[in-house]
Amino acid sequence: MFLTKAYRVLKFGGSSVAGATAMSGVLDIVEREAEKGTVILVSSAISGCTDALLDGDAAALESIVDRHNNIVRRLFTGSQRDDVLERIDGLFAQMYAAPEDEKVTFGELLSTTILCAKLETEGYAVKWLDSRDLVVKGDEKETFGRIVAAVRECPDTEIFVAPGFICREVSGKVSTLGRGGSDYSAALFAAAVKAESLQIWTDVPGVMTANPKQVPAARTIPRMSYKAALDMASHGAKVLYAPTVAPAMEAGIDIEIRNTFAPNGQFTVIGAEPDAPGWIGIASDGDNIRVVGTGVSIEDGIRTAQGALKRAQIAAVDMQEKDGGITLSVRHAVLENALLALHKAYFQVLPAKLVHLFVAGDGAVASALRQMIKRTAANVKERTGKVLWIAGRANSKKYGIRLDGEPSINVEGDYVEAVIKNAPKGSLFIDATNSHTLYKRYVELLEAGIGIISSNRRSLAVPMEDYRAMQAAARENGVPFRYETTVGAALPMLGSIAQGANSLDKVVSIEAVVSCTMNQILGDYKPGDSTFASLLLRAQKAGLTEKDPRKDLGGMDALRKLLILSREAGVELEEKDIEVLPLVPESLLRGSVEAFYKGLEGLEPKFANLYSEATTKGCRLRFVAKLEKAARGYKASIGIRKVAPEHPAFNLKGTENAIIVSSALHPYPLVIQGPGEGALEAASSILNDILR
Ligand code: ASP
Ligand code: MG
């Protein structure tokens, strides 16, 4: 059984040979393929013919005679036409004379006789093969042997033409391979000759995610496994006759499903390669629907189906997992609507975009962010089409990176370098640290195409030169650089200011009441009940202050926030431009913390005085960072101020923050007020920056 030639098996379905025009298209395809190897052309009967033959009444048979005669009249001229008409006339006579159960075999005899004759007239070395003598139903081994022998007998033939569908039983009785069986015939020919190509030409562009006649949005599945194809075919997908798959698979031959009416268009290749995990397609047989998938979560899949059908107000019965897919039934009247709804839910969703996150910092904010990402995953995916994946984690000493699972922090080395090496396109670096040096790596990250989301205000309150370099790197590399969290946590302060600046509005003043520790102390302070020093000590013990509480008094935190706010408004301040209205004498800022607290107790009368000055005027004390337009440029300062009842900061409570922005375009200031602190707030703000 040794064949030296390369064979290409092309099978054409009924609609591909339905009339003279369609047949001409078939001949073009066959001739093109004949240049690449010896073609074995397997054809179905012209469309509708098998049904008519099964019907068998006089009118049906007459219409068959007419249609074939018409095709011949259009395809041939002169003596060739007479010759072919005579040949098919002979077949008609046999058809009328044939036993009832053999009439059905004449459709394929007729179509292949015409195709064969046409190829002959075009000068090809053609040979018609009688499939009835080659295909033995239920005995593939015998079938293969007979096909090889027949083909080997004609080494010079360029195109063999064989009827699909028809065969003989072992007993010798003429029979068929079942409705749709021509596909299987083609697979038998291909397997027998170890064809280099097996092409099933039909009237749709390959195996599709659903039957396009029922679901217009169906799309071609470019590649699929034998297994998935068999799953679709055996659950009613008409595009392929299920028994076709086995012989092709055993012989290791890919099956191409192509469209006769768009020969250069999309098509499907069915082969041994396993499918990528996901939903593959929907097939239906009667009222039974099958959703085919591989490596999918059946639970999710069932939820998707239930949701889709519920929205379409369709009741389904027997929805269940079967062989890795889902099966269900619906009332026949709603079948098409059900297919439409299911297809939409499974296949018309935008593909989720995977965003890899590389988080730096392993404190409260990072942990809140991790939990929030987990908790919101389904919602985020549905609302934004994004899947967030924490692929990197790090504390100040070690890191862990994994693109395919949960990273654990156990590697010593340069985290940023490792991120740059491993981050897929579109990744984001999340600075959730308090580091005052990490910003020096921002430009490197941005230049590597990695966006940065930061909650670390130290990274932004840097010399203007560094600030500009980071902004430029982000812009030039087209990657995000967002840090809304650095001021007022989840409050949209920077975004609002940037919006004003973008529309050429000029800031007249910004008042920011953003330093939480100081405002909490000032809010609680009531001379006689407590001293200022004791409240600060309490805050320090509660972990609300910096390690050295004097940093809070110096307003470092507020100062950084004012820098960031001003720069966002286009006012390029440096730290030294901000005047700090001193709360305590310079001398107390040096020396030990104990000495400082002692000195602070001594200052209590001064604080009490400040307090009564404010309260007698009906005002309250607030720690305010302020930027205001001056005669030339801007003036920036931070310190304790008295605010009147009509001031938005008058009623601030607890850890609330507020900013009040007055600008040239608007008569009234913009006020943003709300919770300005907390790990949860920070995490939600980072998440928002990630998704923006
Ligand atoms: N002509 C047969 C049928 O209609 C076989 C085929 O087309 O595949 O079932
Ligand atoms: Mg068919």
Q: Judge whether 76 and 84 are in contact, CB under 8 Å.
A: yes
Query: Measured between alpha carbons, how far is residue 417 from residues 392, 396, 398 in Å?
Result: 12, 14, 13
Q: Judge whether 353 and 427 are in contact, CB under 8 Å.
A: no
Which ligand does the CA of 203 lie closest to?
2
DSSP letters, 395-427, are: -SSEEEE-SSS---S-EES-HHHHHHHHPPTT-
Assess whether the C-beta atom of 554 lies below 6 angstroms from ligand 1. no
Report the separation in Å between the CA atom of 267 and the middle of ligand 2, taken as the mean of its atom positions.
Answer: 16
Identify which of 41, 165, 185 to mutate to test ligand 1's pocket (most ligand atoms within 8 A of the CB): 165
DSSP letters, 537-564, are: HHHHHTT-S-SSTHHHHTTHHHHHHHHH
Assess whether the C-beta atom of 45 lies below 6 angstroms from ligand 1. yes
Residue 148 has pLDDT above 90, yes or no: yes
Instruction: Kindly indicate the confidence band of residue 223, based on its pLDDT and cuts at 50, 70 and 90.
Output: very high
Instruction: Kindly indicate the confidence band of residue 2, based on its pLDDT and cuts at 50, 70 and 90.
Output: low
Could you tell me the domains of the chain?
7-47+112-202 (3.40.1160.10), 353-486 (3.40.50.720), 493-675 (3.30.360.10)
Assess whether the C-beta atom of 500 lies below 6 angstroms from ligand 1. no
DSSP H or E run through 626: strand 620-629
C-alpha–C-alpha distance, residues 324 and 291, integer Å: 9
Summarised one tens digit per residue, pLDDT across range 18-32 is: 999 999 999 999 999
For position 389, what pLDDT does the model report? 95
> Residues 96-103: contacts with CB within 8 Å, 24+ apart?
96/61, 100/56, 102/174, 103/53, 103/54, 103/56, 103/61
Q: Judge whether 620 and 556 are in contact, CB under 8 Å.
A: no
Q: Judge whether 161 and 109 are in contact, CB under 8 Å.
A: no
Query: Measured between alpha carbons, how far is residue 72 from residues 77, 87, 310 in Å?
Result: 9, 11, 53
The two structure tokens encoding residue 217 = 């949005």
Instruction: Kindly indicate the confidence band of residue 350, based on its pLDDT and cuts at 50, 70 and 90.
Output: low
Interaxial angle between packed helices 58-75 and 78-97, expressed in degrees from 0 to 180 and rounded to the nearest 10:
160
Predicted TM-score (pTM) of the model is 0.59
Query: Taking the alpha carbons of 640, 646, 649, 650 in that order, is the dihedral positive or negative?
Result: positive
For position 554, what pLDDT does the model report? 74
Instruction: Kindly indicate the confidence band of residue 3, based on its pLDDT and cuts at 50, 70 and 90.
Output: low
Summarised one tens digit per residue, pLDDT across range 83-95 is: 999 999 999 999 9
Q: Which of 390-399 are b and which e, b meaning 16 or more Cβ less than 10 Å from the residue's Cβ? A: bbbbbeeeeb
Q: For residue 350, what is the DSSP state?
A: P
Q: Which of 138-168 are b and which e, b meaning 16 or more Cβ less than 10 Å from the residue's Cβ? A: eebeebbebbbebbeeeeebbbbbbbbbbbb
Assess whether the C-beta atom of 104 lies below 6 angstroms from ligand 1. no
Summarised one tens digit per residue, pLDDT across range 541-578 is: 887 777 788 877 778 888 999 999 999 999 999 999 99
